[in-house]
């Protein structure tokens, strides 16, 4: 474990580099606490996409997984996009390939394609519109047709299908972190904390969502616990979110639904952030033809 002096020194170094480079740091809610603390903006995928467009800076340092950095590059061709850990990839995004999606589009020629932002730029380029866990139902209901191919998360597709009359054709993908949270895990944690409300992410299995008090995105969870008069909460998503919850609600208590709710790809260390700003790499770039097509799907989402 690093001592506080080390953390303070590297934090000061990063702050100085940010000023020198005219850079801002965007960190997902699942990042390490010290990375969230150094970030200029923290949020879920939708919030990071919005901030990436609005922020005035020459360099954006995206502390998240690969598709988040790609989304920032798609929306900001005039900015330098840094991804401190180029091997920080989203397992769920890797479960859908452009070639297989093209085949699925041929099988369902009348269906619109909704791609979760947890996808590659190439998959977004083949999509009609993107969505996040915060707005999936709103996005699907904004479409004119009656059929929707939903990639890549089958659990979010199932949850979305409960909030629309459209036919959802799910891709057989999932988030390993959320999918492996079992009903048994949740029941055991509820028994340990009987007074706590259960909040889960819609990437969780349907049977886990069924017994939850609240099913919502990470940003939705943050808003809910702020407003709630309850004092105890079981959190059914990646444990990194609890850091922000504790900061914003010091008088409330939070318990992970399972101790295994950890996404290794979402744990970028401060040293990598510092090195990335120092060396101005790794730079994320998206081929222009792909970028333009993917941008249409992202912009359509943001307009919804």
Report DSSP state, residue 283. Answer: B
Strands (E), the chain: 23-28, 41-43, 59-63, 80-82, 112-116, 129-131, 147-151, 167-170, 197-200, 214-215, 232-236, 253-256
Residue partners of 233: CB distance under 8 A and separation at least 6: 196, 197, 198, 199, 225, 245, 252, 253, 254, 255
198 - beta bridge partners? Answer: 234
Fold match, 93-174+288-303 / 181-259 = yes
How many C-beta neighbours within 10 Å does residue 86 have? 15
Give residue 214's region: left, alpha or beta (phi > 0; psi -120 to 50): beta
What CATH homologous superfamily does 93-174+288-303 map to? Answer: NadA-like (3.40.50.10800)
Task: Please state, in angstroms and rounded to a whole number, the distance separating the CA atoms of residues 234 and 283.
Answer: 38
User: Going edge to edge, which strands form the sheet with 232-236?
Assistant: 214-215, 197-200, 232-236, 253-256
Fold of 4-89+266-279: Rossmann fold (3.40.50)
Q: Residue 3 to residues 11, 33, 77, 100, 260: CA-CA distances in angstroms?
A: 13, 14, 39, 48, 25
Note the pLDDT of residue 14: 97
pTM of the model: 0.93
Give residues with Cβ within 8 angstroms of 11, minimum separation 6. 34, 37, 38, 270
Contact 16, 51 (CB under 8 A): no
Written as tens digits, the pLDDT of the chain (304 aa) is 455 666 779 999 999 999 999 999 999 999 999 999 999 999 988 788 788 888 889 999 999 999 999 999 999 999 999 999 999 999 999 999 999 999 999 999 999 999 999 999 999 999 999 999 999 999 999 999 999 999 999 999 999 999 999 999 999 999 999 999 999 999 999 999 999 999 999 999 999 999 999 999 999 999 999 999 999 999 999 999 999 999 999 999 999 999 999 999 999 999 999 999 999 999 999 999 999 999 999 999 988 8
Q: What is the pLDDT of residue 5?
A: 61
Helix, strand, or coil here: 129?
Answer: strand
The residues facing 254 across adjacent strands are 233
Between CA 200 and CA 202 the distance in angstroms is 7
Question: Cα angle vertex 51, ends 50, 57, to 5°?
Answer: 140
Q: Domain-by-domain residue ranges, the chain? A: 4-89+266-279, 93-174+288-303, 181-259
Cis peptide before 170 (omega within 30 of 0): no
Domain covering 181-259 in this structure, CATH number: 3.40.50.10800
């Amino acid at each position: 474990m690093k001592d506080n002096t080390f953390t303070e020194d590297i934090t000061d170094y990063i702050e100085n580099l940010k000023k020198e480079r005219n850079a801002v740091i965007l960190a997902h809610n699942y990042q390490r606490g010290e990375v969230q603390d150094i970030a200029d903006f923290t949020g879920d995928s939708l919030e990071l996409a919005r901030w990436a467009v609005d922020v005035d800076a020459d360099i954006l340092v995206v502390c998240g997984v690969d598709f988040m950095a790609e989304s920032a590059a798609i929306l900001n061709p005039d900015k330098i996009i840094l991804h401190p850990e180029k091997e920080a990839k989203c397992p769920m995004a890797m479960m859908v390939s452009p070639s297989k999606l093209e085949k699925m589009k041929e099988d369902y020629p009348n269906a619109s394609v909704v791609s979760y932002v947890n996808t590659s730029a190439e998959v977004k380029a083949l999509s009609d519109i993107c969505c996040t866990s915060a707005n999936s139902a709103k996005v699907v209901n904004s479409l004119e047709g009656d059929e929707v191919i939903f990639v890549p998360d089958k659990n979010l597709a199932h949850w979305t299908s409960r909030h629309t009359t459209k036919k959802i054709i799910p891709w057989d993908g999932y988030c390993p972190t959320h999918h492996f949270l079992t009903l048994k895990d949740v029941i055991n944690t509820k028994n340990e904390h009987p007074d706590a409300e259960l909040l889960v992410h819609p990437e969780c299995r349907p049977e886990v969502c069924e017994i939850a008090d609240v099913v919502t995105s990470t940003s939705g969870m943050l808003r809910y616990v702020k407003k709630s008069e309850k004092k105890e909460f079981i959190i059914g998503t990646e444990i990194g979110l609890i850091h922000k919850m504790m900061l914003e609600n010091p008088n409330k208590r939070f318990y992970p639904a399972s101790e295994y709710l950890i996404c290794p790809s979402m744990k970028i260390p401060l040293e990598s952030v510092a090195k990335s700003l120092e060396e101005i790499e790794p730079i994320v770039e998206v081929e222009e033809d792909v970028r333009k097509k993917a941008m249409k799907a992202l912009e359509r989402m943001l307009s919804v």
